[in-house]
Chains A and B, each alone.
With several copies, the nearest count.
Chain A
Amino acid sequence: MEANRILARVVECKLVADSTLLLRFHTLEHRWTVNPGQFVMVGPVLERFYEPFLNRPFSICRRPDEHTIDLLVGIVGRATGFFLQRGVGWDSWLMGPLGRGFQPGEQAERAVLIAGGLGVAPMFHLAESLIAQGKRVTLLYGAKSSRMLVPVTALTEMGVEVVFATDDGTCGFKGNASELLSEHLDKITLSNAGDVYLAACGPMAMLEEVDRIRRRLGLSLEVSLESRMACGVGACLGCSHVLAGNKLGRVCCDGPVFDAEEVFDR
């Protein structure tokens, strides 16, 4: 089914890490087919109240069942602050599912997912779907500090190997997720480059670093980008990102997931 706009109610609103909410939306609509990496635009139902005015994009974190959508929301500003304030029981419009999700393809048996900070959100859904396809999945998950790490038991229980990195060393590897990736790739032996699928989501600096590493090894990589968005559907040209070769790409509909080749100049 094509993207549409549905009414949803927040039925759970839980602090799962420092300044990080798990928001669970319940909706009667159930025809959405969501690809991992796709996102929703969230807009609280506020007739005649225009603060916040615009909807906000959030990666779909999990889809426990067809009536439920989980988001992981970092509290960073006005809209996300509003979510925290409202707790549960409020209604919101969700536009989605939006954008181009991850396209891991068939061949790679092994997937290494690299997440920095809230970039872990779409990795839940992606890991789940890769596991369902019988792949071997590792998540390299970096954050500033252990307090910022979102619980990943849902992933480990389904067989995802999760390795942590924290800038301050309070959990796992001391350093960031891309440094962890270097280490990790050194350890696994690849018979050929097509064997491993890399996907990354997080701060731009991390994505650039991950790209440098995978280029050195000749691996392919998908990255999920962020951009400030107004429409979320390709209409406003607000989210344009300067891609490789100075081409413009709309993060909301040409992405948010791009092949790293398209994104980074050599």
Chain B
Amino acid sequence: MMKPDLRVSIGGLKLDNPVMAASGTFGYGREYESYMDLNKLGAIVVKGISIDPSPGNPPPRTVETPAGMLNAIGLENPGLDGFVRDKLPWLRKQRTKIIVNIYGKTIEEYAELAERLDDLDGVDALEVNISCPNVKSGGIAFGSDPVTAARVASAVRSHTQKPVLVKLSPNVTDLVAIASEVAETGVDGLVLINTLRGMAIDPISGRPLLGNLIGGLSGPAIRPIAVRAVFEVSRKVSIPIVGCGGIVEWPDAVEHIRAGAWAVEVGSATFRNPRASLDVLEGLERFLSQMNFASCQELVGLLA
């Protein structure tokens, strides 16, 4: 049996393999150090960073739902300076690729983040979050409209030499239109999808189960929506797509890749199994070699 070639290039971002840890579900990497060899991952996407530190939303912030979960972290983060001071030095020492997820309250903030990250050693790419349902100003609003989405993407694109991925929201009427506009801005790839807006209430007490009332739905429950998003967008847009949403075990990654994803991100599955991303990678590699694929790239978009 052949060892399949797992390398993949998302535009300028060259990965040793196509399995990454999704933003917000893998902390700043170090939290999972004792559970796995981080360097085996294609990349780690760190928790979303804003210019200023942010305290996030009031608790409770997570709740389980059928085959999934809601979160309303509200992008708690130490701010760019805090990140650079406290997190980046350790991250820089890792051999895996580090992708920094960024979000701003204005287009200018996105541009500023891009510019300030551009110089930094140890940051391999940016993932632009225009799709977070948990912050009021900005976030999802930027991802809801093709023109605004493209404007954010352009702003980031023009302020950094590093590869740029744009992460889109599924909470929209016409994802393909947004994806198409964003793709035109010259970014390296699209990440599909962020969470879906949801809510849960304790039936007995009537207490909303999230402090923020509304949060983002993730996990296996949303996998069919994510796969559909990847499929539709990949048929219309020519830049690489990174699939994300409901990937828990390796067959889920294969499903995303067959739908059209060049690479995948494993999100909330990591909470269930800290090694989920590596297990996915190992399963994927096994599958490819058993099925005699010479490379993972051959599987992209391949339907029967």
Contact, chains A and B (beta carbon distance below 8 A): yes
Binding site for B on A (CB under 8 A): 2-5, 43, 47-48, 50-55, 78, 93, 95, 227-242, 246, 248, 253
Can you report 29 A-B residue pairs in the complex whose CB atoms are below 8 A from each other?
A: A2-B33, A2-B34, A4-B35, A51-B67, A53-B65, A54-B62, A54-B271, A78-B64, A227-B60, A228-B61, A228-B62, A228-B63, A230-B62, A230-B69, A230-B271, A231-B31, A231-B270, A234-B27, A235-B31, A235-B32, A235-B271, A236-B24, A236-B62, A236-B71, A236-B271, A237-B76, A238-B62, A238-B73, A240-B59
List the B side residues contacting A232 at CB < 8 Å. Answer: 271
Q: Which of B35, B59, B63 is A241 in contact with, Cβ under 8 Å?
A: B59
Is B248 interfacial (CB 8 A cutoff)? yes
> In the complex, are the beta carbons of A54 and B64 less than 8 A apart?
yes
- Pairs A-B, 3 closest by C-beta atoms: A235-B27, A238-B62, A2-B34
Judge whether B272 and A242 touch: CB under 8 Å: no
- CB contacts (< 8 Å) of B34 on chain A: these are 2-4
Contact A227 B59, CB 8 Å, known A2-B34, A4-B35, A50-B66 = yes
Cα of A248 to Cα of B273 in the assembled complex, Å: 26
Minimum C-beta distance from A114 to chain B (A)? 24
Residues of A within 8 A of B248 (CB): 50
Let me know if B219 and A53 touch, CB within 8 A.
Answer: yes
CB < 8 Å A-B pair total: 113
Residues of B with C-beta under 8 A to A54: 62, 64, 69, 268, 271-272
Distance of A51 Cα from B274 Cα, bound (Å):
17
CB 8 Å contact bits of B148-171 with A (1 = contact, 0 = none): 000000000000000000000000
Contact (Cβ within 8 A) A237 B56: yes
Q: A53-B67, A238-B71, A240-B61 are in contact. Are A43 and B272 (CB under 8 A)?
A: yes
Alpha-carbon gap, A234 to B28, bound state (A): 9
Restricting to B35-67, which residues have a CB under 8 Å from any CB of A?
A: 35, 47, 55-56, 58-67
Binary per-residue interface labels of chain B (247-288) against chain A in the complex, 1 for a CB within 8 Å, 0 otherwise: 011000000000000000000101111110000000000000
Docked Cα-Cα span, A10 to B68, in Å, equals: 25
CA distance A236 to B25 in the complex (A): 5
Residues of A close to B270: CB separation below 8 A:
231, 235
Q: How far is the CA of A253 from the CA of B30 in the complex (A)?
A: 13
- The answer to whether A50 touches B73 (Cβ under 8 A) is no
Contacting A47 at CB < 8 Å: which of B25, B47, B61, B249? B249
Of chain B, the residue at the smallest CB distance from A253 is B31
A248-B220 contact in complex given A4-B34, A43-B273, A236-B62, C-beta closer than 8 Å? no
Taking a contact as CB atoms under 8 Å apart, the answer to whether A55 and B76 are in contact is no
Size band of the interface chain B makes with A: 35 or more
Complex: A228 Cα to B62 Cα, angstroms: 7
The interface bits of chain B over 69-113 (1 if a CB of A lies within 8 angstroms of the residue's CB, else 0) are 101010010000000000000000000000000000000000000
Question: How long is the Cα–Cα vector from A184 to B112 in the complex, in angstroms?
Answer: 60
Residue of chain B at shortest CB distance from A55:
B272
Residue contact B60 to A228, C-beta cutoff 8 Å: yes
Whether A5 lies near B274 (C-beta < 8 A) is yes
The residue in chain A whose Cβ has the minimal distance to the Cβ of B24 is A236
CA A48 to CA B248, docked complex, whole Å: 8
Q: Does B231 contact A (CB under 8 A)?
A: no
- What is the CB-to-nearest-CB distance from A253 to chain B, in angstroms, rounded to a whole number? 8
- Residues of B with C-beta under 8 A to A2: 33-34
A236 contacts which chain B residues (CB < 8 A)? Answer: 24-25, 27, 62, 71, 73, 271
Nearest chain A CB to B20's CB is how many angstroms away?
15
A56 (CB) vs chain B CBs: closest residue? B64
Besides the known contacts A235-B26, A236-B62, 9 further A-B residue pairs in the complex with CB atoms under 8 A apart? A5-B35, A5-B275, A50-B68, A53-B65, A228-B61, A228-B62, A228-B63, A238-B73, A240-B61
Chain B hits for A248, CB < 8 A = 55-56, 76
Complex contact B249–A48 (CB within 8 A)? yes
CA distance A248 to B61 in the complex (A): 13
A87 to chain B, nearest CB (A): 23
Q: A231-B271, A235-B270, A248-B76 are in contact. Are A50 and B63 (CB under 8 A)?
A: no
Nearest residue (CB) in A for B55 is A248
Determine whether the beta carbon of A93 is less than 8 Å from that of B273. Answer: yes
List residues of chain A with CB within 8 A of the CB of B56. Answer: 237, 240, 248
**Contact between B69 and A237, CB atoms less than 8 A apart:** no
Chain B nearest CB: distance from A39 CB in Å? 15
A157 to chain B, nearest CB (A): 36
- Is A53 touching B60 in the complex (CB atoms < 8 A)? no
* Nearest CB in chain A: distance from B30 CB, A: 9
Residues of chain B contacted by A235 (CB below 8 angstroms): 25-27, 31-32, 270-271
Q: How far is B209's CA from A78's CA once the two chains are assembled, in angstroms?
A: 15
**Bound-state Cα–Cα, A215 to B215, Å:** 38
Chain B residues within an 8 Å CB radius of A237: 24, 27, 47, 56, 61, 73, 76
Minimal beta-carbon separation of B117 from chain A (angstroms): 21
Q: Are B58 and A242 in contact (CB under 8 A)?
A: yes
